[in-house]
Amino acid sequence: MIALTSSKSGSNSNVGMAIFYQVLFFIGVYVIGKWVVPMLMRLSDQLFITASRPVMSIIICLGLAWLADVAGLSGAIGAFFAGVAVSLTDEDDEINESIEPIGYAIFIPVFFVSVGLSMNFDGLQTVLGLIVVLTILATITKLFGCGLGARMSGFDLTSSGVIGAGMISRGEMALITLQIGYGEHLMSETYYSAIVLVIVLVTLIAPFILKDAIKKNKAATHA
């Protein structure tokens, strides 16, 4: 949606080409995930280098992220599908154990630094009301929305409350979407900073609500 919204011109031909490239990307992802990734993982076993499978997984991740960017999508989407494709192989546990420390040591901190560097606190006093309203809405919609879904799935009331509370926090994907929108100039620096602050506030509030929901669930269980 962001890719379509941020097309350089509003012409039907541009929108049509954007949709075409994105459909082509998803077809390519299916082909790569089903046939190319397993072949590359088998090939990596024949390479006489340390951690050949994790290295190949990183290459696949960067390659699909690049293809997603070429198709007008976020690189995060390509990286996500790379992870899905690798997870379907027999080596997924080994690869996950090897790559996770790299992610937490390098890529994840760099991402959060880039989010922080784009923030500007100068104009936040003009949107304090918006920050409060969005924080309340972000909390309530996740709490009751996910709680209702859990209730409809057969969970009791207190367990549904725990599930809803556990889903309140908004993390990396919200920030990634926000970063993409800001990078495409779909919002001002002030609104970008306000929404980042809302995500942080909701993440800080969530553990307290979850703790209370768990306490109520335990009390109901032992009643």
pTM reported for the whole predicted model:
0.79
CA gap 108, 171 in Å, rounded? 12
Is 1 part of a structural domain of the chain? no
Show which of 82, 98, 117 is a domain's final residue: 117
Is 76 part of a structural domain of the chain? yes
Give residue 9's pLDDT band: very low, low, confident or very high (50, 70, 90). very low
- Is the domain of 112 the same as that of 131? no
CA gap 109, 115 in Å, rounded? 10
Choice between 156 and 170, residue whose per-residue pLDDT is larger: 156
Report the pLDDT value the prediction gives residue 171, as an integer from 0 to 100. Answer: 78
Report the pLDDT value the prediction gives residue 81, as an integer from 0 to 100. Answer: 94
Number of domains in the chain: 2
Average pLDDT of span 195-211: 95
Average pLDDT of span 89-97: 86
Report the pLDDT value the prediction gives residue 199, as an integer from 0 to 100. Answer: 95
- Is the domain of 23 the same as that of 84? yes
Report the pLDDT value the prediction gives residue 40, as an integer from 0 to 100. Answer: 93
Q: How does pLDDT run across 100-150, given as a tens digit for each residue?
A: 998 899 988 998 999 999 999 988 999 999 999 999 999 999 999 999 999
Decide if pLDDT at 4 tops 60: no
- Is the domain of 160 the same as that of 192? yes
- Is the domain of 25 the same as that of 101? yes
Is 92 part of a structural domain of the chain? yes
Q: How does pLDDT run across 119-128, given as a tens digit for each residue?
A: 999 889 999 9
Contact (Cβ atoms closer than 8 angstroms) between residue 164 and residue 145: yes
- Is the domain of 16 the same as that of 107? yes
CA gap 81, 93 in Å, rounded? 17
Average pLDDT of span 7-20: 69
Decide if pLDDT at 184 tops 70: yes
Closest CA to 40 of 29, 28, 48, 32: 32
Which of 38-47, 150-159, 196-205 has the least mean pLDDT?
38-47
CA dihedral 70, 66, 193, 181 (to 10 degrees): 20
- Is the domain of 99 the same as that of 188? no
Is 101 part of a structural domain of the chain? yes
- Is the domain of 214 the same as that of 135? yes
- Is the domain of 100 the same as that of 60? yes
Is 55 part of a structural domain of the chain? yes
Show which of 117, 151, 175 is a domain's final residue: 117
Is 65 part of a structural domain of the chain? yes
- Is the domain of 142 the same as that of 207? yes
Task: Tell me the HSE value of 40 on the side-chain side, using a 13 A CA sphere.
Answer: 20
- Is the domain of 96 the same as that of 191? no
Q: Of 43-52, 92-101, 204-213, where does the model show the most confidence?
A: 204-213
Is 63 part of a structural domain of the chain? yes
- Is the domain of 50 the same as that of 103? yes
- Is the domain of 36 the same as that of 113? yes
Q: Which domain holds residue 108?
A: 10-117
CA gap 66, 56 in Å, rounded? 15
The rounded percent of the chain whose pLDDT value lies above 70 is: 94
Show which of 117, 142, 164 is a domain's final residue: 117
Q: How does pLDDT run across 36-70, given as a tens digit for each residue?
A: 999 999 898 888 777 889 999 999 999 999 999 99
Is 2 part of a structural domain of the chain? no
